[in-house]
């Protein structure tokens, strides 16, 4: 049994974890900050995002992209601050959330599709792609809360965690960034997927908040490992020097007011056998 140790705590709600350029970077969503932390737990604020940050990614030139949730915009961090890349409000019915950016700079952005915190009934929504020039378009529809996403190392397959579909869904990626050949990559049964990451054996680590665990899943749905967490696991990422550190973003719940009041969010880590692969 693997055990988790706390890297940092006192967070509002950590999401969108990434390993980039030797650093661990994540969104402290309800604190409105993007944060970087080293392996000793020393943290720094990368930028402030007024309308809540979520998914993170990087363009080929190294500039960071960040999803601005409640105004449904994609932002880019330039030397002189955040700049809008695209306004997705006419394409995404509700708050935007996670994102993956491919090697060409195309950003695939999910959204809630409904008001989660007011307990609305889940309904299908869109997956939006934003090209490097800022042109945004819908590339998939009827997605049940598209959340964590990965791209395989060859750049040809996008896999999306559909939280309220309880599945991982795969698409072929076209030369223009379009998606085709939609299929179920893994049926997760009763597990609701949130953030995900891919390893070098083509297995996916999935954060499952309602089950308070992170699971490692093979294509087809076989769960080959489970790691329990003390509260709820909302996202995960493989990184570290050898790609074998599994970072897990945990929190007692996702309610914005409760998260800001309790500051129970953590980044927790453990070592695993198979290293990171693909994107992010």
Query: Are the C-beta atoms of residues 28 and 234 closer than 8 Å to each other?
Result: no
Q: What is the pLDDT of residues 236-265, one digit of tens each?
A: 999 999 999 999 999 999 988 999 999 999
Q: What is the pLDDT of residues 95-123, one digit of tens each?
A: 999 999 999 999 999 999 988 877 878 89
- Structure tokens given for 144: 């049940």
The pLDDT value recorded for residue 128 is: 98
Topology of the domain covering 12-199? Neuraminidase (2.120.10)
What torsion, rounded to 10 degrees, do the Cα atoms 242, 248, 249, 253 define?
180
* DSSP track, the chain: ----EEEEEEES-EEEEEEETTEEEEEEGGGTEEEEE-TT--EEEEEE-TT-EEEEEE-TTS-EEEEETTTTEEEEEETTEEEEEEE-TTT-SS-EEEEEE-TTS-EEEEE-SS-GGGTPPP--EEEEEE-TTS-EEEEEEEESSEEEEEE-TTS-EEEEEEGGGTEEEEEEEPTTS-EEEEEEEEE-TT----SEEEBTTS-EEEEEGGGTEEEEE-TTS-EEEEEE-SSEEEEEEEESTTS-EEEEEEES---HHHHHHH--EEEEEEE-SS-B-SB-
Q: What is the pLDDT of residues 156-172, one digit of tens each?
A: 999 999 999 999 999 99
Residues β-bridged to residue 111: 96
Residues β-bridged to residue 279: 151
Query: Are the C-beta atoms of residues 195 and 171 closer than 8 Å to each other?
Result: no
Which residues of the chain have a pLDDT value below 50?
A: none
The pLDDT value recorded for residue 117 is: 76
User: How far is residue 73's CA from residue 279's CA, in Å, rounded to a whole number?
Assistant: 21
């Amino acid at each position: 049994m693997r055990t988790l140790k706390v890297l940092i705590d006192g967070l509002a709600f950590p999401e969108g974890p990434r390993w980039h350029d030797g650093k661990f970077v994540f969104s402290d969503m309800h604190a409105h900050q993007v944060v970087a932390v080293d392996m000793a737990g020393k943290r720094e604020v990368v930028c402030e995002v007024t309308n809540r940050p979520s998914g993170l990614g990087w363009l080929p030139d190294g500039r960071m992209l960040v999803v601005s949730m409640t105004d449904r915009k994609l932002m880019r961090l330039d030397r002189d601050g955040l700049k809008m890349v695209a306004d997705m409000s006419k394409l995404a019915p509700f708050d935007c959330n996670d994102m993956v950016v491919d090697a060409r700079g195309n950003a695939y952005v999910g959204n809630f599709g409904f008001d989660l915190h007011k307990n609305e009934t889940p309904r299908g929504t869109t997956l939006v792609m934003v090209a490097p020039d800022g042109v945004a378009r819908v590339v998939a529809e009827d997605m049940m809360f598209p959340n964590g996403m990965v791209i395989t190392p060859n750049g040809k397959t996008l896999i999306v965690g559909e939280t309220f579909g309880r599945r991982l869904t795969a698409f072929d990626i076209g030369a223009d960034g379009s998606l085709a050949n939609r299929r179920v990559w893994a049926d997760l049964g009763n597990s609701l997927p949130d953030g995900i990451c891919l390893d070098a054996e083509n297995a996916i680590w999935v954060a499952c908040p309602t089950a308070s665990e992170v699971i490692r899943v093979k294509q087809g749905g076989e769960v080959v490992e489970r790691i329990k967490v003390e509260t709820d696991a909302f996202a995960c990422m493989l990184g570290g020097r050898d790609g074998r550190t599994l970072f897990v973003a945990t929190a007692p719940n996702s309610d914005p007011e409760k998260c800001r009041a309790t500051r129970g969010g953590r980044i927790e880590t453990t070592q695993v056998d198979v290293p990171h692969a693909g994107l992010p």
